[in-house]
Each structure stands twice: as structure tokens, then as C-alpha cells.
């Protein structure tokens, strides 16, 4: 079990498109599962469900599918009181949760639209929150960019991980997300993981944007690319430098001890 506290460690992974959020999220899940760190819930918050592919999980329904089906029913005039609504949604979200070999998985699909069917959205948030409470670690692979943080999809996290490749654009997006998160996200710790770094000399040329602590760097590693190309599950590939670096970052960031 992680430390002594009961609340789960909620790790959200954000950054510019294509910088390696899903690869890092999958590496985090793998580290936690392999170390037997506790019960792990992986949440794919990217509508493109990249984490499902990286972990080879079959998604039968997303939270968005459930929301849309319910909204259609409500629109067609069906009446449901709040209690029925809660138990109905509870049942469906639990049904969408897939569990295999010590790892549970939930796909969000499209994030909620603000202001529309607030009651449904609020109930769904509560349900996801209470599901998360049953786990020791929750790993959220976020959608690219700033929108989810802005819409407060990731309102409460313990560890906010910003991922960037060595590009100036990737670092600028990480900085913007950090700035927005300061007002939109209740996080305990935030840090930057530099991904796809080609050795120490490249690392020496990189500087973290002001106010962002570098918690680790992950080398460019063909094993990660290869797993993606051949559609292998990140949990099944042999150890490699990138995965070792992700584990090291989690240690230095205090996610695991």
C-alpha cells in the first residue's frame, strides 16, 4: 500500500500533442503494477483512447457514451428522479470499468460540455471520484493541450506531471498548462518530465521554463516506438532505458517510495 494515507495518489499526465503523454502514462502504470505498489486505476481522458491501445485494453463503453445515452433518454421525455439517475449511472459506469490482472481501466471519451445537463455531469464526477477512492493509484492520461485543465476535468490531483519533448513548443505548452493549473487544479506537487531526450549533451542544452521543476528525463528509446508500431502492450515488453527512467522519475517525484 502506498504510504499510510487512505486517499489515492492521483497522477495526471498533461502536455502538448505528441510529446509522449500516453507513453509516459503507460510507463507509470507498468511501474506501479510491476512493483505491486497497490491497486491501480488507469483513466484514459483522451477521446482518442491512446492509453487503451498502449495497455491493450478493449473499451466497450466510455463515460461519454453513457452520458449521451442517458441524455437521449431524458430528451425523449423519460422521467427519472435523482435517486434513480444516480443508481442508473453508477451501474453503467461500473459496467464500463474493465479490470484485468490487477489493473482497472476507465475511458472518459469526450469531456463534458459545460453548462449542459449539469446534474448528469456532477453525478458522473461523483461516481468517478468514488470509484477512484477504491484504488491506491489513479493514473490519468490527459488530452493534448490546455482544454481539459481549463474545463476542470482534472480538478483534484495529487501529482501533476507535465510532459514535453525537447522542443521549444513542447516546453512552452507545458509552461502554459502549469500557469493555468495554478488556478484550475488543486494539486499537491507538479513537475516536468522531459521525454525523448537524446543523451546528456542534449539535456544540458535544455532549460526548464521558469517555475517548473524537472523531475526526470526519459531518453529517446526505440523500444517505446517499436511497442507502438507493433501494437504491443507496454506491460509486456522487456525493461528498457525509457521505462527505467520513468520509474526513476516517479521515485524522485514521491509517487512511489
Ligand X SMILES: Nc1ncnc2c1ncn2[C@@H]1O[C@H](COP(=O)(O)OP(=O)(O)OP(=O)(O)O)[C@@H](O)[C@H]1O
Stretch 233-252: interaction string toward ligand X, x if CB under 6 A: ---------x----------
E strand or H helix at 99, and its extent? strand 98-100
Does residue 22 bind Mg ion (CB under 5 A)? Answer: yes
Looking at the Cβ atoms of 9 and 21, the one nearer to Mg ion is: 21
Is residue 148 within 8 A of residue 142, CB to CB? The reply is yes
* d(C-alpha 88, C-alpha 43), whole Å: 21
Residue 171's binding partner among ligand X, Mg ion, none (Cβ under 5 to 8 angstroms by kind) is none
Instruction: Tell me the pairing of strands 40-44 and 137-141.
Output: parallel
Specify the stretch interacting with ligand X by CB under 6 A; choose among 98-106, 127-135, 176-184, 222-230. Answer: 222-230
> Which residue in the set 9, 11, 20, 43 belongs to the binding site for ligand X (CB under 6 A)?
20
Query: In this chain, which of 228, 235, 237, 240 binds ligand X, going by CB under 6 A?
Result: 228
Closest CA to 51 of 107, 92, 102, 93: 107
Sheet holding 214-219, edge to edge: 98-100, 103-107, 40-44, 137-141, 9-15, 159-164, 189-197, 214-219
Interaction pattern, residues 88-107, with ligand X; x per rule: CB under 6 A: --------------------
Of 11, 14, 42, 46, which one interacts with ligand X (CB under 6 A)?
A: 46
50 touches Mg ion (CB under 5 A): yes
Q: How far is the CB of 73 from Mg ion (least distance, A)?
A: 32
**Short-list 59, 60, 4, 53, CA closest to 29:** 53
Using CB under 6 A as the binding rule, whether residue 196 contacts ligand X is answered as yes
Give the integer Cα–Cα distance in Å for 32 and 16. Answer: 24
Please tell me the total number of residues recorded for the chain in this structure: 257
Contact of residue 218 among Mg ion, ligand X, none (CB under 5-8 Å per partner type): ligand X
Binding residues (CB under 6 A) for ligand X: these are 15, 17-23, 46, 50, 144, 195-196, 218, 220-221, 224-225, 228, 242
Amino acid at each position: 500500500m502506498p504510504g499510510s494515507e487512505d486517499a489515492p495518489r492521483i497522477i495526471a499526465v498533461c502536455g502538448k500533442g505528441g510529446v509522449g503523454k500516453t507513453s509516459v502514462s503507460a510507463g507509470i502504470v507498468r511501474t506501479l503494477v510491476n512493483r505491486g505498489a497497490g491497486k491501480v486505476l488507469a483513466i484514459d481522458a483522451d477521446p482518442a483512447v491512446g492509453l487503451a491501445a498502449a495497455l491493450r485494453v478493449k473499451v466497450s463503453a466510455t463515460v461519454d457514451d453513457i452520458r449521451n445515452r442517458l441524455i437521449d433518454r431524458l430528451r425523449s421525455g423519460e422521467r427519472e428522479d435523482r435517486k434513480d439517475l444516480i443508481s442508473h449511472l453508477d451501474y453503467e459506469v461500473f459496467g464500463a470499468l474493465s479490470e484485468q490482472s490487477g489493473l482497472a481501466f476507465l475511458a472518459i471519451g469526450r469531456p463534458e460540455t459545460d453548462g449542459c445537463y449539469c446534474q448528469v455531469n456532477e453525478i458522473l464526477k461523483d461516481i468517478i471520484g468514488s470509484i477512484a477512492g477504491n484504488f491506491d493509484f489513479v493514473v490519468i492520461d490527459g488530452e493534448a493541450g490546455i482544454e481539459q485543465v481549463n474545463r476542470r476535468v482534472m480538478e483534484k490531483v495529487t501529482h501533476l506531471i507535465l510532459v514535453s519533448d525537447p522542443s521549444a513548443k513542447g516546453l512552452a505548452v507545458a509552461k502554459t498548462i502549469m500557469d493555468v493549473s495554478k488556478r484550475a487544479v488543486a494539486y499537491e506537487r507538479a513537475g516536468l518530465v522531459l521525454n525523448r531526450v537524446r543523451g546528456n549533451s542534449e539535456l544540458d542544452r535544455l532549460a526548464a521554463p521558469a517555475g517548473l521543476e524537472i523531475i526526470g528525463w526519459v531518453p529517446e528509446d526505440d523500444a517505446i516506438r517499436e511497442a507502438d508500431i507493433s501494437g504491443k502492450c507496454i506491460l509486456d515488453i522487456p525493461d528498457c532505458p525509457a521505462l527505467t527512467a520513468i520509474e526513476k522519475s516517479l521515485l524522485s517525484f514521491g509517487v512511489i517510495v
